[in-house]
């Protein structure tokens, strides 16, 4: 079983590749179809951020385990300009670019865990996780 996939993000067509790969990997864990759509949507938003704001980067998709729980982690990493004000960037409706300003706060709502690290001039790394529901049947 493949447990880790790296998708280089440079062009807008890579966004579709990333979300397809993510969905394929997440299918190994019996996520519901609704959860698969949620994961693919989150990957799409993260990949688009890289294309729009950083010009390039990568999406790393990983199957993870923690305390008996299984899930998928998505790491979105770029060497772009970084985010000046993280608190502001996490607010609904705030956007410096062409989006709706829902990308980051929306992605946080879609996933279970959300971490963001950003350094001006160095880049941004966002790690999100979705855990498989334990009592799902």
Listed ranges 68-76, 83-91, 92-100, 124-132: which one lies at the site for another protein (CB under 8 A): 92-100
Residue selected from 24, 44, 70, 132 as contacting another protein according to rule CB under 8 A:
44
Tell which positions 45-84 bind another protein, by CB under 8 A. 45, 48
Which lies closer to another protein via its Cβ, residue 32 or residue 119? Answer: 32
Tell which positions 103-132 bind another protein, by CB under 8 A. 103, 105-107, 109-110
Tell me how many degrees the CA angle 39-43-48 measures, rounded to the nearest 5.
150
Handedness of CA 96, 128, 27, 17 (dihedral sign): positive
Determine the Cα–Cα distance for residues 111 and 37; give it in Å rounded to an integer: 11
Which lies closer to another protein via its Cβ, residue 16 or residue 120? Answer: 16
Cα distances (angstroms) measured from residue 42 to each of 39, 77, 134 = 5, 14, 21
136 binds another protein, rule: CB under 8 A: no
DSSP helix/strand/coil, 121: coil
Tell which positions 24-43 bind another protein, by CB under 8 A. 33-34, 36-38, 40-41
Determine the Cα–Cα distance for residues 12 and 27; give it in Å rounded to an integer: 24
């Amino acid at each position: 079983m493949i447990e880790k996939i790296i998708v280089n993000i440079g062009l807008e067509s890579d966004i579709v590749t990333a979300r397809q790969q993510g969905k394929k990997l997440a299918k190994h864990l019996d996520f519901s179809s609704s959860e698969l759509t949620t994961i693919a949507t989150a990957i799409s938003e993260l990949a688009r951020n890289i294309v729009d704001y950083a010009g390039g980067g990568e999406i790393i998709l990983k199957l993870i385990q923690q305390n008996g729980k299984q899930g998928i982690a998505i790491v979105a990493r770029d060497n772009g300009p970084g985010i000046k004000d993280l608190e502001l960037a996490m607010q609904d409706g705030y956007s410096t670019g062409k989006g709706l300003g829902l990308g980051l706060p929306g992605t946080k709502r879609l996933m279970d865990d959300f971490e963001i690290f950003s350094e001006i001039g160095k880049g941004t790394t966002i790690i999100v996780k979705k855990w498989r529901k334990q009592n799902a049947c």
